[in-house]
Amino acid sequence: MSSKDKTWKEISIAGVCPKSSESFKTGDWKTYMPILDTEKCIVCLTCVMLCPDGTINWIPDTNKISFDYTFCKGCGICANECPAKALTMKIDNTEG
Amino acid sequence: MAQQNKKTLAFNGDEAVAFAVKQCNVDVVAAYPITPQTIIVERFSEYVANGEVQTQFVCTESEHSAITASLSASTTGARTFTASASAGLALMHEMLFVTSGSRAPVVMAIANRALSAPLNIHGDHSDSMAQRDSGWIQLYVENAQEAYDSIIQAYKIAESCDVSLPIMVGLDGFTLSHSLENVDILSDEAVTDFIGERQLPQVLTHEGKSVPFKLDPKNPMTMGPVAFQNYYFEFKRQQEEGMKNALKRIQEVNSEFAKISGRCYGNGLIDKYKLEDAEVIVVCAGSTSGTLKVIVDELRACGVKAGLLRLRTFRPLPVEDLKNALKNAKAVAVMDKSMSFGGFGGAIFHEVRHSLYDSPVHPPIINYIYGLGGRDYSPSELRIVFDDLAEIAKTGDTGKQVRYLGLRE
């Protein structure tokens, strides 16, 4: 809890969200994070399609894959499914 | 002002409920049949088939789905109704908390029935008492007339913006659900005018807009998200405030209803019968109160200062009303038609006794568990309760505090 959390009198009833889901940085749940070996990556986009949280994106200009770790929960589906074995799950040592 | 053109119809309790729901212009009814509730939705489905109502009737595959469909419909701003009993209500258990936590003013009739095992379809309060802490308002009615009246009142109570909680109206299985009575009905117009359109509280959405609390593509909002250590507690506290507001609202609605019907039920929370100077008082919920009133009259004719306190509203518990009504009693007996196994007496006994704790003077108080699984209780048996109270009032000795009435010992 932090001092900016509101009291029961200040919030809407029934848990109606005052914020968009984009503002909830759920990435801090993860224990492991996927790390990409760009040498091995064949840009097949399997990980992009299978990420349940839409945190993996394809950058058309560079034809590269990028990860949004602020929402990645570290489920490991991407690493498990990568046909090129370009993704490995490593302990998340980042803060927050 | 009482209604001018009084119309009386013969209904059993279930039919009286179905007729009230018909007049309340309900948008969605989702239900699954279970004795002794079945007649309610059976009769209502006839109204739907005959085109007498515009209601969307949803036949579900279980009670868990029935309450879920009712809750879901309610979140779109629809007026909803469902009914259940016994095992059906038990199967709804999980979703009862979701309904109250979602602040959905669903109205549900419960034809109170025993829970298995052993299998029993007859009346007692085990089903709804087991749902005491589910966050639903609970009313218990005395007769078919009150069942009809209370369903109409229930919408006005539950849908009040400062309450916004679901409500269950309990009528005793078979004793009320299947017994034919004369029921005075209001005109459709009178009911429509009385309950009006569903009211919606305002909420703040993620877009920063203050909008009515309902699922609406024009004003998107997130309902039913997670709330963990940092917010869950605050939402539960809000529900408790809704219950506190209901305590006031039930009384107001009871008075407003009296103006259009000429009928009221005590102050809506408790119904006092000859309590002013009563020395021996029985506290009771549901249809047994009717029999007890007759006994009170008989005893009064013999000079015994007997009285009855009928607990109409069990949740929210009218603590102050109970305290004030019982403060001058010389002995009190609380009737419970359900067991709280391993507890000290039944649920109503716990709550009434606890309401008196802060009073300077505590009347001696005893509990009777009775009528389980539909066990009959005759007027002569109920008289035993008053006889016992007279003895306690004389000696001041409560003796055994938790007793069983009509049990072979």
String of DSSP letters for B333-372: EEEESS--TTSSS-HHHHHHHHHTTTSSSPPPEEEEEE-G
Nearest CA in chain B to A12: B203
Amino acid of residue A45: L
Q: Which residues of chain B have pLDDT under 70?
A: 1-5
Structure token pair of residue B402: 């938790």
Q: What is the pTM of this model?
A: 0.91
The predicted pLDDT at position A78 comes to 98
Q: How many CB atoms lie within 10 A of CB B167?
A: 27
The predicted pLDDT at position B93 comes to 98
Residue B2 sits at the chain A interface (C-beta within 8 Å): no
Angle, CA of B280, B283 and B287, to the nearest 5° = 125
B162 chain-A contacts, CB cut-off 8 A? none
Q: Which residues contact B337 (CB under 8 A, 6 or more apart)?
A: B112, B123, B124, B125, B126, B172, B285, B286, B288, B346, B369, B370, B371, B372
B231 chain-A contacts, CB cut-off 8 A? 5, 11, 15
Cβ of A16 and B222 within 8 Å?
yes
- Give the CA count within 13 Å in the CB-facing half-sphere of B190: 22
The predicted pLDDT at position A94 comes to 75
d(CA B214, CA B235): 17
The predicted pLDDT at position B4 comes to 57
The predicted pLDDT at position B220 comes to 92
Cβ of B241 and A8 within 8 Å?
yes
The predicted pLDDT at position B225 comes to 86
Q: Where is B124: in which H helix or E strand?
A: none
The predicted pLDDT at position A2 comes to 66
Distance separating the N- and C-terminal Cα atoms of chain A: 14
The predicted pLDDT at position B1 comes to 46
B227 chain-A contacts, CB cut-off 8 A? 15
Structure token pair of residue B326: 């019982």
Identify the residue with better confidence: B274 or A25.
B274
> By C-alpha distance, which of B68, B63, B65, B67 is closest to B35?
B63
> By C-alpha distance, which of B289, B327, B322 is closest to B308?
B289
Looking at chain B, the number of H-run helices and the number of E-run strands are 12, 17
Q: Which of A10, A17, A73 to mutate to test the interface with B (most CBs of B within 10 A)?
A: A17
The predicted pLDDT at position A4 comes to 84
The predicted pLDDT at position B350 comes to 97
A8 chain-B contacts, CB cut-off 8 A? 233-235, 237-238, 241
Residue B213 sits at the chain A interface (C-beta within 8 Å): yes
For the stretch A26-71, pLDDT in tens is 898 899 999 999 999 999 999 999 999 999 999 999 999 999 999 9
Give the position of tokens 């007793």. Answer: B403
B200 chain-A contacts, CB cut-off 8 A? none
